Amino acid sequence: MVEGLEALAEAVLEEVAQVAVGNQKSINPEAEIGELVPRLREAAGKNLVSVIVYGSAAGKDFRRDYSDINMLVVANKLPLEGLKALVPVMSWWRERGHPPLVIFTREEIERSADVFSIELYDMKHRHRVVEGEDVFANLQIPMALHRVQLEHELRTSLLRLRQSYIADSSEDGVLNLMLQSISSFGTLFRHVLIALGHEPPLHRREVTVKLGELVGFDPKPFLEIFDMREGRSHALHVDDTFRQYLFIVEQVTSWVDRRLDGGA
């Protein structure tokens, strides 16, 4: 996968986790989307195929204080002129504090499910069309390749977790590392359940509890970070929590490797 696509996959998977300690926001997703769509219509014209909101903003669990508005823009073609036309819209959207628009052509959506199986699975199962056609209506996700990507993402995320800790092991740095990575791990934990044929709960908190029952870990450190991320708690022992947090990620990664390979 080329560098640009790796960056795109990471941005989608992590939902561009921009929540920092004490940096919460309060937004109205429908008002923001309502301003975005006409700007995209004007910029893209007939090249615009669809505008789709995905993730929590497409459902009922959007939290104005910390959830992101994740938007997919699908075009017929994306020559350089088409990208240039979208620059002012992207700049305006980013200035509003939102994650970058994810931009695909229609053909790329149809042919990318083999390499973006996790991302497109999530979009397909949790999206709402706000303009144009539903490009996910007939999209098939190859679940055999989904398992391969799942293990790759778990191992890559574990490596990054370790690297980030080594780069900044201060208490604030480690706390922010957990706050910013937990959304990504929550998504991957949900896909572990999916890969095993389980119906995952809607919320990451319940997903972590259910996976803990299967794998055999205590979800407490993850639940504590969820509480802090959601403003329900403001104190924890960072070093002890990260030790357990890291151990859980290692345990899940190893367990998935053995289970999906057919081992014990």
Please write the tens of the pLDDT for every residue from 130-172: 999 999 999 999 999 999 999 999 999 999 999 999 999 999 9
More confident residue, 75 or 27: 75
The secondary structure element, H or E, covering residue 132 is strand 127-132
Q: Find all residues with CB under 8 Å of 178, minimum gap 6, and list them.
A: 225, 241, 242, 245
Whether 11 and 102 map to the same domain: the answer is yes
Residue 138 lies in a domain: no
Tens of pLDDT, residue by residue over 16-48, are 344 333 333 567 889 999 999 999 999 999 999
Domain that holds residue 187: 143-260
Residue 17 lies in a domain: yes
**pLDDT for the residue 147:** 93
Whether 17 and 124 map to the same domain: the answer is yes
Q: Which CATH number do you get for residue 17?
A: 3.30.460.10
Work out the average pLDDT over 241-252: 97
User: pTM for the full model?
Assistant: 0.80
- Token pair 């799942």 in the structure block, residue: 150
* pLDDT above 60 (res 202): yes
**pLDDT for the residue 208:** 97
**pLDDT for the residue 235:** 75
Map residue 105 onto helix, strand or coil.
strand
Work out the average pLDDT over 51-58: 90
Number of domains into which the chain is organized:
2
Q: How far is CA 85 from CA 50, 106, 171, in A?
A: 16, 18, 43
Residue 50 and residue 134 in contact, taking contact as beta carbons nearer than 8 Å: yes
Token reading at 86? 């979208």
Whether 120 and 44 map to the same domain: the answer is yes
Strands in 127-132's sheet, in edge-to-edge order, are 102-105, 70-75, 48-54, 127-132
